[in-house]
Amino acid sequence: MRTTYSGGHPESLLALTGGTVDAAQINSQTLATATKAGTFRPADYRRIWTSEPIPNDPITVRGDAPPAFKKAVREALLQLSPKDVEKVAGFLDVTPPGPMVPVTKESYRPMFDLAKTMKLSEEDV
């Protein structure tokens, strides 16, 4: 078996559907978007593994922003309902939309563990 890095989830999906690879890691967001767009048919492929849920990309604020501003942004985002998130899902690139949740570095533990298993460095990911 040979492992290669395609560049990201969308590129992995393209490599899979284009026949360049026999298997690919694709996040649920990319899969949902491609399925909805009709560019991926799940029935044509076999899912061989699914990870525990991993938080989507974080929304961050500059570290040197005023504490009151950081708090206001955090509170505003965490108060959004899934319906509100759906309204801005294109901007946030969230598919399917859901509630905003606070995360810490520990929230991403499954990704760190996977990278360690694959012997990937921070530069690799």
- Kindly list the domain boundaries of the chain, sorted by start residue: 1-50, 52-125
The CA distance from 118 to 111, in Å, is 11
* Whole-model pTM over 0.85: no
pLDDT digits (tens, 9 = 90+) for 74-83: 999 889 888 8
pLDDT of the residue at 72 = 96
53 upstream amide cis, omega within 30 of 0: no
Query: Residues 58, 54, 125, 41: is their CA dihedral positive or negative?
Result: negative
Give pLDDT < 70 ranges for the chain. 88-97, 125
Distant-in-sequence, close-in-space partners of 4: CB < 8 Å, separation ≥ 6:
21
Residue 92: its pLDDT value, please? 59
Contact 103, 117 (CB under 8 A): no
